[in-house]
Structure 1
Amino acid sequence: MMKNVLIKLTTFSAAVVLCGCSSVMSHTGGKEGTYPGTRASANMLTDDGTNWGTKSLVMLDMPFTAVVDTLLLPWDLFRTDKSVRSRVEQSEQETLATNAVIPPADMPAR
């Protein structure tokens, strides 16, 4: 009886520790954006260089990674340094600077 409880406890503890490891690795690795762990897992699944053993572990972990990424979504949105409005304004200014026509020094301005 005690051995059975110990096996269940060990299995449950291992599952809790391993849940969402792609998300944790992506967040501690400094990846930007939302759902970085889920994107990293999806990239590993589609990569031809990843072996079948790793892909099977990624498939098992991916639902948990998505849950952890969802829980960390407010943090991801907070840590992005720019709002959508400021990115659009910056893009507009860069476009204006690129499209600006600067007359040569010897040509009179109109």
Structure 2
Amino acid sequence: MLKQTLLFLTASCALMGSTGCSSVMTHTGPNQGYYPGTRASMAVLEDDDTNWSMIPFAAIDLPFSAVLDTMLLPYDYLRRNSDKRLDSPRERMLHGASSANADNPPAAN
């Protein structure tokens, strides 16, 4: 009985710890609109290049991300007009690289 209870608790904790990850990951970055975690999970499921081992995780994550994204709708609404370049290190890097390239054109041969 103790072994079954321990197995159930371990499986439950693993499932709860791995659910809603897409929503959490997308909300820690720049504003990506409404339901970003749900869209990310769907993109993984629809992508032909997705590894077969990721498909079950994305399928399990999808309903939990949808619930969490629904709960975070007011937060997304408040962030809707934020500048993505200010929030995203990637966008800042790309913006900085494009500015540097504009200041230093390539030398002519």
TM-score range, shorter chain: 0.5 to 0.7
Cα gap change, 1:56 to 1:31, in 2 (>3 Å): farther
Task: Give, in whole Å, the separation in 1 of the partners of 2:30 and 2:41.
Answer: 16
Counterparts in 2 of 1:31 and 1:78: CA distance versus 1, 3 Å: closer
4+ aligned runs moved over 2 Å, structure 1: none
Distance 2:46 2:60 in 1: 15
The alignment of Structure 1 onto Structure 2 pairs a total of residues equal to 82
Structure 2 residue runs without a partner (length 5+): 83-109
Q: Which residue of 2 aligns with 1:39?
A: 39
Match of 1:75 in 2: 75
Task: Name the residue aligned to 2:90.
Answer: none
Deviation at 1:40, TM superposition (A): 0.9
CA distance in 1, matches of 2:39, 2:62: 10
In the alignment, structure 1 segments of 5+ residues that lack a partner are 83-110
Cα offset, 1:72, TM superposition: 1.0
TM-score, scaled relative to structure 2: 0.68
- 1:71 Cα deviation from its structure 2 partner: 1.0
Partner of 1:22: 22
Percent same amino acid at aligned positions? 50
